[in-house]
Amino acid sequence: MKRLTVPKIKRRKFEGKTEEPLVMLTAYTARQAQLLDPHCDMLLVGDSLGQVIYGLPSTLPVTLDMMCAHGAAVVRGSYHSVVIVDMPFGAYEASPQIAFEAASRIMAETGAAAVKLEGGEAMAETIAFLTARGIPVMAHVGLTPQAVNVLGGYAARGRSQQEHEKIIRDGQAVSDAGAFAVVVEGVIEPIAIALTQSVEIPVIGIGASAQCDGQVLVTEDMLGMFERVPRFVKKYDDIAGMIEKTVETYAREVRDRSFPGPEQTYQPKK
């Protein structure tokens, strides 16, 4: 199976609509990527790995080193999906030049097809700068977790008219700047629908609307790895419960010496 490309993803939105929604999930490891890859169009190496993998309190402490290491693992574990790597907080905001240094390092060290960054109008110049220099950019507007300290939390965005208009302007700005797609996170549905209808590029929703051009979730959230998840997450399974049960069985068998059994034990040749 040949790997999808960024232009192919962008072209899936034709005359303002993506007929078959784009499927995106996060991936942080090679094995996880292998399992998700055949079913997805895009794999996102999200900076959500800060909380999910490293137990950090937010995405703010995530480093470029972490993103490069996990990005490379996901590229190695996938053959079909477009792999997109999040730019971590602090690595790109100061200037287009600084963003290019971080993004080019991600591209060179991971083999990913694109980077993602948070921000709308404020990042438009950076998006144009990177795209003109060979780095496709996915943008991320609405609830942008790296701005949690400015936003004051992770509550849904767009409930005031002012906020509503700002999010639409952000989406239009990143589309005009050359982003190939945009994630819209944690917004009231009318904004997600309006944005999807008003930009030429695919709009990927998370906590947004089924009318978006695609959907993304954090894989561990939708698998049921965590007790507490945002309201917009659907838990498709109870992986945490399965792991607990399995480990409980293992611990009991070790303690009562029924593991390892004869099948798992080497004996001298007869």
- In the annotated binding site for 3-methyl-2-oxobutanoate, the residues are 47-48, 86, 116
Nearest distance from C-beta of residue 176 to Na ion, angstroms: 22
Nearest distance from C-beta of residue 49 to ligand KIV, angstroms: 7
Part in contact with ligand KIV (CB under 6 A); list of ranges 43-51, 147-155, 160-168, 250-258 = 43-51
Nearest distance from C-beta of residue 218 to ligand KIV, angstroms: 5
Q: Is 86 in the site for ligand KIV (CB under 6 A)?
A: yes
DSSP 201-237: S-EEEESS-TTSSEEEE-HHHHHT--S---TT-----
Q: Per the residue annotation, which of 163, 185, 189, 220 is the catalytic one? A: 185
Nearest distance from C-beta of residue 66 to ligand KIV, angstroms: 12
Residue 207's φ and ψ, nearest 5 degrees, are 65, 45
Q: Which does 74 bind (CB under 5 to 8 A by kind): ligand KIV, Na ion, none?
A: none
Size of the site for ligand KIV (CB under 6 A): 12
Residues of this chain, 96-125, that bind ligand KIV according to CB under 6 A: none
DSSP 36-70: HGGG-SEEEE-TTHHHHTT--SSSTT--HHHHHHH
Q: Which does 26 bind (CB under 5 to 8 A by kind): ligand KIV, Na ion, none?
A: ligand KIV
Residues contributing to the annotated binding site:
47-48, 86, 116, 118
Instruction: Enumerate helices (H) and strands (E) in the chain, giving the number of each.
Output: 11, 10
Residues 6+ away with beta carbon under 8 Å from 243: none
Q: Which does 218 bind (CB under 5 to 8 A by kind): ligand KIV, Na ion, none?
A: ligand KIV
Q: Is 221 in the site for ligand KIV (CB under 6 A)?
A: no
Dist. CA 262–CA 137, nearest whole Å: 55
Strands (E), the chain: 13-14, 17-18, 22-26, 42-45, 82-86, 114-118, 137-142, 181-185, 203-206, 214-217
CA 13 from chain center: how many Å?
Answer: 20
For the question of residue 165 being annotated catalytic, the response is no
Q: Which of 18, 26, 32, 126 binds ligand KIV (CB under 6 A)?
A: 26
Part in contact with Na ion (CB under 5 A); list of ranges 60-68, 82-90, 214-222, 227-235 = 82-90
Q: Largest Cα–Cα distance of the chain, in whole Å?
A: 81
What single DSSP character describes residue 116?
Answer: E
Dist. CA 99–CA 87, nearest whole Å: 9
Q: Is 175 in the site for ligand KIV (CB under 6 A)?
A: no
Nearest 5°: CA angle at 228, between 223 and 232?
70
Given the rule CB under 6 A, which residues bind ligand KIV? Answer: 26, 44, 46-48, 86, 140, 183, 185, 206, 216, 218
Known catalytic residues are 185
Given the rule CB under 5 A, which residues bind Na ion? Answer: 46-47, 86
